[in-house]
Amino acid sequence: MYLLYVLTALALAVSFVFSREKTVKALKISVKKFINILPAFLLMIIIVSVILYLIPESLITAYLTGKSRYAALLFASFFGSVTLLPGFIAFPLCGILLKKGVSYMILAAFSTSLMMVGVLTFPVEKEYFGAKVTFLRNFISLIIALMTAFAIGIYFGEL
């Protein structure tokens, strides 16, 4: 995180040395772009805050353990798609589930769809790419996540 701040400050300083005008122009572009997308971000965070309340970690754990393999696979990709967990929550959760006996394949389906499929980021992605492309991209991502999960299952001898 600090690296990002240092890098940004450095980039700004270098830019300022080369051209004051261009740097001011860059900052104007930054502010304008940021403000334009802010409502979409706000909507996304609101939806995330409600969904995380409705789908707590305990619920995910309950649905991924003690189910038949394919039911768990479906639940895993569903929860992965409709939630948005930062890595520092998602992977420790996967680690706990692994210890509880959830297979690598199920966890791959969960973590990969978590990373690739963004139902909750739809409001933001739609602003940049349009609803149709956003839908197509996420649908393809879901298929890739499932294929990756199967490959992991084969690798760990679970299939």
Partner 1 sequence: MKHAKILFFAAYFIFIAVSLPLSFNPGREIGVNFYVFSSEMLKLLPCAFILIGLFEVWVKKESVEKHMGRDAGLKGHLWVILLASTTVGGLYVAFPVARSLYGKGARLEVIFTYLGAAAVCRIPMTIFEASFMGIGFTLVRFSVSLPLIVASSVLLGRYLEKRNYSLRAGA
Contact residues for partner 1, defined by CB under 8 A: 1, 4-5, 7-8, 11-12, 15, 22-23, 25-31, 33-34, 36-37, 39, 41-46, 48-50, 52-53, 84, 86-88, 91-92, 94-95, 98, 104, 107-108, 111-112, 115-116, 118, 121, 124-125, 127-130, 133, 136-137, 140-141, 144-145, 147-148, 151-152, 155-156
Q: Which residue, 63 or 104, has its beta carbon nearer to partner 1?
A: 104
Q: How far is the CB of 71 from partner 1 (least distance, A)?
A: 22
Q: Which residue, 41 or 63, has its beta carbon nearer to partner 1?
A: 41
Helix %, strand %, coil % for the chain, to 5?
Answer: 85, 0, 15
Rounded CA-CA distance 20/29 in Å is: 14
Q: Which of 34, 118, 31 is nearest to 126 (CA)?
A: 118
Q: Which residue, 70 or 88, has its beta carbon nearer to partner 1?
A: 88
Q: How far is the CB of 2 from partner 1 (least distance, A)?
A: 11
Burial class (CB in 10 A: 0-12, 13-18, 19+), 50: exposed
Q: How far is the CB of 73 from partner 1 (least distance, A)?
A: 16
Cβ density class 59-82: b for 16+ within 10 Å, e for less: ebeebbeebeeeebbbbbbbbbbb
Q: How far is the CB of 4 from partner 1 (least distance, A)?
A: 5
Other C-beta atoms within 10 Å of 121: how many? 17
Q: How remote is the C-alpha of 81 from its chain's centroid?
A: 8
Q: How far is the CB of 130 from partner 1 (least distance, A)?
A: 7
